[in-house]
Chains A and B, each alone.
Chain A
Amino acid sequence: MNNQTNPGHIPASALEEFRPYLLRYALLQLRDNALAEDAVQETLLAALESRSKFSGKSSPKTWLTGILKHKIIDLFRKQAKEATQFSLEAELENGVGDFDVLFQPDGHWNTLPQAWADPLKNLENKKFWEIFEVCVKLMPANTARAFMMREFLGSSTEEICKDMQISATNCWVMLYRARMSLRLCLGHNWFGGNFEGK
């Protein structure tokens, strides 16, 4: 790609090159091919229209991801409004005690968590991200949405509570479960070895 970052000089074909990347990003979060493709299409169109506003201060990839994040947040808000309180409450209810198996009745770990060897090194590994995606997709729908909004899209818990119409406590519970399940899944399937709860 050319190194010129003159504002407004990203050719349309260069934007198109980011489509696979954006689609992967959208798919992980939206879990629906059609929705993800629409979001990416809208992102690329919006980018095309506002190319002149692109300052070149960030990379095109970061800029496009920023636009896509806004599209995803809008979709999440819409989904949150449409999700019945029933499905949310059922999910919260069903997950009660999910991670109790990791602890003894007195609250100590059944098996002490072991250090993950040099975890940051894994962020360079394509295979790691494949496992990461599989693990994220295992979360229940509402839990996943809360987690995505918080960790990927940078929403505050206040915003998540408001969008999902849940209490702050329930929001923390959902985020806790999301992280615990991701940790277990990565532990089992990537960091391997003698992992607790096995």
Chain B
Amino acid sequence: MLTCKEVSKLVSQSLDRRLSLVEWVGLRLHFALCEGCRHFREQMAFIHRACQRYPD
């Protein structure tokens, strides 16, 4: 099982590279069980989106 720290790194990397199937499944499993990491994922997605919109 991935730790939250590992998840945080993989979430960031998922914005930069294609994750392996093992990594992807590991993330899904972790998200299913960890609310904090689900919020973290949403925050990273928000930051990504904000950068695309800057400085609207």
Interface residues of A (CB under 8 A from B): 21, 24-25, 28, 99, 103, 106-109, 112-116, 119-120, 123, 129, 132-133, 150-152, 157, 168, 171-172, 175-176, 179-180, 182-183, 186-187
Contact = CB atoms under 8 A, between A and B. Distances in A.
Contacts of B54: 25, 28, 129, 132, 152
Contacts of B31: none
Nearest to A112: B36
B46 interface: yes
Contacts of B28: none
Interface band, chain B: 20 to 34
A107 B37 CA distance: 12
Contacts of B56: 123
Nearest to B52: A151
B5 A172 contact: no
B36 A107 contact: no
A21 B56 CA distance: 9
A176 B9 CA distance: 6
Nearest to A116: B43
A133 B56 CA distance: 13
Contacts of B50: 123, 132
A172 B16 contact: yes
Interface string B1-32: 00111101100110111000000000000000
Contact of B36 (A113, A132, A150): A113
Contacts of B51: 151-152
Interface of B: 3-6, 8-9, 12-13, 15-17, 35-37, 39-40, 42-44, 46-56
Contact of A21 (B3, B46, B55): B55
A109 B46 contact: no
B12 A176 contact: yes
16 contacts: A25-B55, A109-B36, A109-B37, A116-B42, A123-B49, A123-B56, A150-B15, A152-B51, A172-B9, A172-B17, A175-B12, A175-B15, A176-B8, A176-B12, A180-B8, A183-B40
B44 to A, nearest CB: 6
A107 B6 contact: yes
Nearest to A150: B16
A107 B9 CA distance: 12
